[in-house]
Chains A and B, each alone.
Chain A
Amino acid sequence: MMRWMLLSLMLTCGIAFATIDAYEFKTPDDEQRFRVLVEELRCPKCQNQNIADSNAGLAKDIKDRVHRLINEGKDNGEITDYMVERYGDFITYRPPVRPVTWFLWFGPFVLALLAAFIIFMIKLRQKSPSIIQVTPEQEAKVQELLKKLDQSDKQS
């Protein structure tokens, strides 16, 4: 059973052959919009592929529908919503910005800014010059040791 299903998947989803279709549009602008849309819509049938690159029959159907909707004058948002209505959020590679996806969109940025801010505040509070006073003797000793290490390398 499983094998059958896998087979049917494979038959309809060869991954390596790019589909290339020549669609006609009213304006070059529409053509550009089409290109963006088909790259942002995910083929529901296949592995991880957009409908532009997929050669599944369903990807072709969706492309046809996008083409039709563009020629009907629908804008990108309307077309994406149209597809989401049918296939769910899965169909778009651009995850919607909703409370549940806030972390995805902003989480890492907020955490990074927070980290930078905290470090900045800590450093700012350390008003006194934070350089530890090293006595000249100590400094000289360090330098001498480092030099020795380098020399032992040269000899080897």
Chain B
Amino acid sequence: MSRTKWILFSLPLIGFAVMVYFFGSAIGNDPSVLPSTRIDKPMPAFELPTLENPDQTVTQVSLKGPVLLNVWATWCPTCIVEHPLLVELSRRGIPMVGLNYKDEPDAARKYLEINGNPFKWNIADVKGDLGLDLGVYGAPETYLIDAEGKIRHRFVGAITPDVWRKELWPQWQAIGGVQPDDTAAGQGG
């Protein structure tokens, strides 16, 4: 009897302890970050013009890696923040393709002219259709695509030297990405 009672009366405390454990672990997590559903899946099919030449269309076949796909737009302030680092990484030999997301092609071309162009070429996704198929929820986003054209990693937000060193560079190596000219990866930017 009294043992049952002890168990019964300790249930609220136990339940509360479990809740506290979860709360404690949850503090500091950013609830707005979403994992990608496309990891280890092939790039979704698309057929879109390039930013450089509106008459030329590209498809997912053109995106064989290892390559870094960066979702950007001129209306996105965070993209402007990370841009210099992209230029630097590109200068050091990381192959990059841009996905110009819901942007004015003219403004985008001008932007690249002024701020430097880290991209080999850009997909012009004016309507955001490819963005939706990829599961893009906020520019900038950066995808790592392997040699088979599969998406292996996604990072949401501005790439900083720290993010590159700790998160993207190991992933980039894991998919057999080209070594940058400078072995001190990510020191720039």
Contacts and interface: CB of A to CB of B under 8 A. Distances in A.
A65 B129 CA distance: 9
A58 B81 CA distance: 21
Nearest to B79: A8
Interface residue range, chain B? 20 to 34
A88 B77 contact: no
B176 interface: no
Contacts of B54: none
A54 B105 CA distance: 26
Given A44-B34, A85-B37, A88-B34, A4 B77 contact: yes
A61 B135 CA distance: 12
B158 A5 contact: yes
A22 interface: no
Chain B, interface SS category: loop
Interface string A63-107: 001000000000000000000111110100000000000000000
B101 to A, nearest CB: 10
Contacts of B182: none
A47 B136 CA distance: 16
A62 interface: yes
Contacts of A33: none
Given A1-B81, A4-B158, A5-B157, A86 B76 contact: no
Residue among A12, A45, A57, A87 with max Cβ neighbours from chain B (10 Å) = A87
Interface residues of A, number: 22
Nearest to A85: B37
Interface string B155-183: 00110100000000000000000000000
A7 interface: yes
Contact of A7 (B77, B132, B135, B157): B77
Interface of B: 32, 34-38, 76-78, 81, 102, 127-128, 131-138, 157-158, 160
6 contacts: A1-B158, A4-B78, A45-B137, A61-B132, A85-B37, A88-B37
Given A1-B158, A44-B135, A58-B137, 8 more contacts: A5-B158, A8-B76, A57-B102, A61-B127, A61-B132, A85-B37, A86-B37, A88-B37
Interface of A: 1, 4-5, 7-9, 11-12, 44-45, 47, 57-58, 61-62, 65, 84-88, 90
